[in-house]
């Protein structure tokens, strides 16, 4: 068993970080369902993130079990002669826990990457940047395969991972696996962090708003730092158990960063001024994706109760030079709709399956106004709801 003080600090820190991660993840799902409903609220990236949360739970549990176990097959060679049969049995069981925890960590981190790439794929739909997302996705897939091949073939025989003594140092230090993992993990994190930046740079946003949205996307820096420190502690001293804390910190930080952007609508309701800049940035980025199509009319919206209506997709008036080019896609288009004597002109993203789409309008607040969120695989006419809390004027720039 490890030092009792370390075991206690690991337990407190790990379960605290776990509680925060679960809270943010639940807020993500609540936000999706609250704004889009049960049928359209949960999308493919949410399912992938759910899988990541499950593997993250396994990781936290196993890390605490490893800390209180009788050790693993990682020990100074001179200690072998002091082991009793009971000690060896405990270390074999501990080594198996370490083995599974490595897989849990890999699945957690790569699951988060996949979830973000799905989100970025929707964000860049119809833009040239989507090719970049597809390229990064291929690199991430290649990295996952490389990590798994290294994991399963670096130690031969595979049972050496829990053999006492181990047949090869790699079976207990994971040096080759950790090196390959670090290369693909950190490099793909850097690539993914810079995917949204070209859209942001090209948008005509005030400096304050650019700084606000940059803060959201550049939170990935903290994940990269945690990943680097994890490998530093893991490779610099193989007997240093501090790496266990950094495994948990890296996975927890990655979950925070990947889920927080999806909670912005809820944050806007709690702290309206805090999220307005990000909402404005998102609108501007969407406008850029529509080749600069804008409306020159001011729109005054009076206080209304929530309204629900149905409109055929064929009645939509598209702005810019966008066109429906395939049977299933997402596009940023302009939609004009009369509302209490005025006309609302808003650029929206819809998903089209055949000739019609299904989705919902969301009141994002601030300068964002109304945003349409399409559902994957939707057919027939779509429903939209408009919820305007107070009278205000929107002037698209």
Q: Are 301 and 388 in contact (CB under 8 A)?
A: yes
Mapping DSSP to helix (H, G, I), strand (E, B) and coil, where does residue 127 land?
coil
Instruction: Please identify which residue in the block is written with the tokens 């890296």.
Output: 250
Evaluated on CA atoms 84, 87, 93, 96, the torsion sign reads negative
Mapping DSSP to helix (H, G, I), strand (E, B) and coil, where does residue 351 land?
strand
Residues 96-135, buried b or exposed e (16+ Cβ, 10 A)? bbbbebbbbbbbbbbbbbbbbbbbbbbbbbbbebbebbee
- Where the chain has pLDDT below 50, the residues are 275-279, 281-397
DSSP secondary structure, 276-343, as one string = HHHHHHHHHHHHHHTTT------EEE-----EEEEE-GGG----TT----SSEEEEEEEEEEEETTEE
Q: Are 348 and 365 in contact (CB under 8 A)?
A: no
- Phi, psi at 380, each rounded to 5°: 60, -165
| Domains in the chain with CATH codes | 4-266 (1.20.1070), 293-394 (no CATH)
What pTM was estimated for this model as a whole? Answer: 0.70
Q: Quote the pLDDT of residue 366.
A: 41
Q: Quote the pLDDT of residue 181.
A: 95
Q: What is the 3-state secondary structure (H, E, C) of 228-258?
A: HHHHHHHHHCCCCCCHHHHHHHHHHHHHHHH
Q: Are 292 and 223 in contact (CB under 8 A)?
A: no
């Amino acid at each position: 068993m490890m030092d009792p003080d370390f075991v206690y600090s690991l337990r407190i820190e790990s379960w605290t970080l776990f509680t925060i991660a679960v809270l943010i993840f639940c807020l993500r799902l609540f936000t999706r369902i609250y704004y889009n409903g049960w049928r359209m609220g949960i999308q493919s990236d949410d399912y992938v993130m759910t899988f990541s949360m499950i593997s993250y739970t396994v990781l936290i549990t196993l890390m605490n079990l490893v800390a209180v176990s009788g050790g693993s097959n990682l020990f100074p060679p001179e200690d072998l002669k002091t082991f009793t049969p009971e000690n060896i049995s405990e270390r074999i069981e501990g080594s198996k826990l370490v083995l599974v925890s490595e897989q849990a960590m890999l699945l957690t981190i790569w699951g988060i990457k996949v979830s973000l790439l799905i989100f970025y794929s929707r964000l860049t739909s119809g833009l040239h940047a989507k090719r970049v997302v597809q390229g990064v996705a291929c690199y991430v897939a290649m990295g996952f395969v490389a990590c798994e091949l290294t994991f399963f073939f670096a130690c031969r025989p595979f049972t050496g991972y829990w053999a006492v003594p181990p047949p090869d140092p790699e079976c207990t230090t994971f040096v080759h696996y950790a090196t390959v993992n670090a290369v693909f993990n950190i490099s793909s994190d850097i690539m993914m962090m810079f995917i949204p930046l070209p859209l942001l740079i090209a948008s005509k946003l005030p400096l304050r708003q650019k700084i606000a949205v940059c803060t959201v996307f550049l939170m990935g820096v903290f994940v990269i730092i945690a990943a680097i420190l994890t490998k530093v502690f893991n490779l610099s001293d193989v007997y240093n158990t501090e790496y266990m804390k950094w495994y948990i910190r890296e996975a927890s930080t990655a979950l925070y960063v990947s889920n927080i952007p999806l909670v912005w609508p809820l944050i806007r309701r709690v702290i309206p001024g805090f999220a307005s800049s990000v909402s404005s940035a998102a609108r501007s980025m969407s406008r850029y994706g529509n080749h600069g199509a804008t409306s020159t009319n001011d729109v005054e919206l009076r206080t209304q109760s929530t309204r629900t209506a149905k409109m055929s997709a064929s009645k939509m008036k598209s702005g810019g030079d966008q066109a429906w080019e395939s049977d299933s896609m997402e596009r940023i288009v302009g939609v004009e709709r009369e509302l209490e004597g005025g006309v609302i002109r808003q650029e929206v993203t819809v998903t089209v399956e055949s000739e019609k789409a299904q989705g919902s309008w969301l009141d994002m607040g601030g300068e964002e106004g109304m945003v349409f969120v399409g559902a994957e695989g939707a057919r027939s006419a779509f429903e939209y709801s408009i919820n305007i809390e107070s009278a205000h004027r929107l002037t698209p720039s």
